[in-house]
Amino acid sequence: METQNYTKKAIKNFIIITIFTLSAALVSYIYRIFLARSLTVEEYGLFFSVFSLVALIYSFRDISFYESLTKFIPEFKVNKDEKSIKESFVYVTIIGFIMSIIIFILFIIFSGFLAKNYIHDVASMPLIILVAISFILYGGELLLKQTFQGYQEMILFSTIGLFKSVFIFALTYVFLKLGLGLIGISYAYILAPVLTITIYSFIFFKKVFPNFFLIKINYNKPLLKRLFRFAIPTFLGVGFGVIITYTDIIMLTLFSGVFYVGLYNIALPTANFLAYITIGFRNVIYPLSSELWSKKHMEHLSQGIVLIYKYSFIIFIPILIILIFFSEIIIKTLFGQEYIGANNTLKILSIGIFILSVAQINYAVLAGIGKPELNTKTSFIAALLNIVLNAILIPFFNIIGAALATLICYLFMFIASFKNIKSKIQLNIPFIIWLKTIIAGAVFLIVVNLTILLFGLNELNALIAIIVALIFYILSLFVLKVVTITEIKDICKRIDVVKNGQSNNLG
């Protein structure tokens, strides 16, 4: 019997996901730049104040049951159980739609209250309703996305977000040119998922699951219970995690106003560049850990986690240094002088997102092995901590206070997630490798500073400094034996398609 080459699969999927995820992130980031330069700081902040509130509420729907597809489809695939796959898909579709409608009705009822007491602008009521409609449609997109991830159709999984981002950008450009303002942006957020769902639904039923309409299903109570048992703790865990993500913006809106929300929404997406890279690692290890855990391949799983720890750190360190050292020039060049007030916030959030990025790898593994309740407990405590810290710090320090609250919460999640994962899996955390990588990062920083000292600081010199520093960083990794030529060759071999079905260890 052929044994799957898990290393090859992990690396191949990581490359696919990273390329398309970073492409989507780049489009989204350019879109943010376009919005920031097309709107005033207050208008920019107003839109994302509304968006964050709606996203927070809908996120309780978005991940819980949808994510169960990513968990259970790989298991059903192993057993060639297409009937259970279809039943899961249908149940999640129905539950998601019902939850969407209930939430939308609540937004209609309370839109006037929110416009007056949250946004402090009654004219924002139509904007709240339109953004809520866009999130109903986003549920269909997420349903397909999580299903593709469960099937490990990584090209489809990773391109769906890219296409939606392109559609949003193009439609927003048209509507702003027509003078529709914030309402036009909302129209773009409604039409883009309609186009995306139409295209990817056709692909799903035609290519991924062509037997979908041929398979008869019945009411499967045990399966529905399994979905609920997985979804409810995930629902809570993700919900608490989303609270951390959006509480800053919501509480900034309440305590400081939409101007500071505008500044914060410059710093946050810039710092989130690290998080986009993590998506590649996370979305590879999640279904893979589920499959390896179900097959009891514990050694392969442990080796794979350590491998991801190692290379995530190698990638994160220079990016973190760039975001901190060049924060002011990044903001001025991309968004304009009026957003320079987000400079220190970007530095703090970059450190926080770096810490969170490693913690999210642990979260993905714990969810993949069917232990989402551990994530729930950690996220619950972190969410409460974030609310308390925001309430204390934002009134005194505005966006700096929000960033510090987030950093502290992410540090707690980082520590707790390692404690949780070590309680379930025998794991040797690569502290020595991390330390050597940080030393290589120090070399990177020294070279950057020396280059800037010699040639001065501007956009061109900053680019030259980064390129030169990256060369020294890579050389340092080899000198310190963080990576070796033999290891690189071995990884390259593992990427190749194994035609003879020969097994390779994950490490």
277/256: higher pLDDT = 256
Q: How confident is the model at residue 498 (pLDDT cuts 50, 70, 90)?
A: very low
| pLDDT (mean) for 390-404 | 95
The contacts of residue 169 (CB under 8 Å, 6+ apart) are 27, 30, 31, 34
Structure confidence by residue, pLDDT tens digits, 71-98: 888 888 878 888 888 998 998 899 888 9
Average pLDDT (249-256) is 92
Q: Cα(343)–Cα(179) distance, rounded to whole angstroms?
A: 31
Residues 6+ apart with CB under 8 A from 386: 243, 244, 247, 248, 405, 406, 409
67: closest CA among 363, 357, 273, 383? 363
pLDDT band at 497 (very low <50, low <70, confident <90, very high): very low
Instruction: Give residue 303's pLDDT.
Output: 82
> What is the per-residue pLDDT for 9?
64
pLDDT band per the 50, 70, 90 thresholds, residue 279: confident
Residue range 262-275: mean pLDDT, rounded: 90
What is the rounded distance in angstroms from the CA atom of residue 82 to the CA atom of residue 217?
10
Enter the pTM of the model. 0.78
Q: Which of 104-118, 143-157, 294-308, 417-431 has the lowest mean pLDDT?
A: 294-308
The tokens of 125 are what?
Answer: 């009521």
- Residue 198: exposure state from Cβ atoms within 10 A (0-12, 13-18, ≥19): exposed
Percent of the chain at pLDDT exceeding 90: 47
Residue with token string 């970059």? 350
Where is pLDDT greater, at 205 or 69? Answer: 205
Question: What is the overall mean pLDDT for the chain?
Answer: 86
Whether the per-residue pLDDT at 99 is higher than 70: the answer is yes
CA distance 198 to 140: 10
State the virtual CA torsion across 190, 262, 342, 446 in degrees, nearest 10: 10
3-class DSSP state for residue 394?
helix
User: Which letter does DSSP use for residue 119 in this model?
Assistant: S
> Does 506 have pLDDT greater than 60?
no
* pLDDT single digits (tens) 449-471: 898 888 887 778 888 889 999 99
Lowest mean pLDDT among 25-29, 137-141, 237-241: 237-241
Mean pLDDT of 418-443: 91
| pLDDT of 208 higher than 80 | yes
**Which positions ≥6 away from 11 have C-beta within 8 Å?**
491, 494, 495
Give 295-313 pLDDT, tens digit per residue: 888 888 888 888 888 988 9
Asked whether residue 146 carries a pLDDT value surpassing 50, the answer given is yes
More confident residue, 131 or 64: 131
Nearest residue to 345 via CA among 324, 361, 362, 375: 324
User: Would you state the pLDDT for residue 237?
Assistant: 59
Give buried/exposed letters for 391-429 (b at 16+ CB in 10 A, else e). Answer: eebbeeebbbbbbbbbbbbbbbbbebbeebbeeebebee
Residue 236's pLDDT is: 65
Q: For the purposes of burial, counting CB atoms within 10 Å of the CB of 186, is it exposed (0-12), middle (13-18) or buried (19 or more)?
A: buried
CB within 8 Å of 412: residues ≥ 6 apart? 378, 381, 382, 385
pLDDT confidence of residue 130: 96
Question: What mean pLDDT is predicted for residues 278-297?
Answer: 78
Q: Quote the pLDDT of residue 505.
A: 41
Instruction: Give the domain ranges of the chain.
Output: 6-429
**Average pLDDT, integer, range 218-232:** 83
pLDDT in tens, 181-192: 999 999 999 999
Which band of pLDDT confidence, cut at 50, 70 and 90, is reported for residue 3? Answer: very low
Q: Is the pLDDT of residue 62 over 70?
A: no
Would you say residue 193 has pLDDT above 70?
A: yes
Q: Which residues contact 136 (CB under 8 A, 6 or more apart)?
A: 100, 101, 104
Residue 204 clears pLDDT 90, i.e. is over it? yes
The residue that leads in pLDDT, 142 or 152, is 142
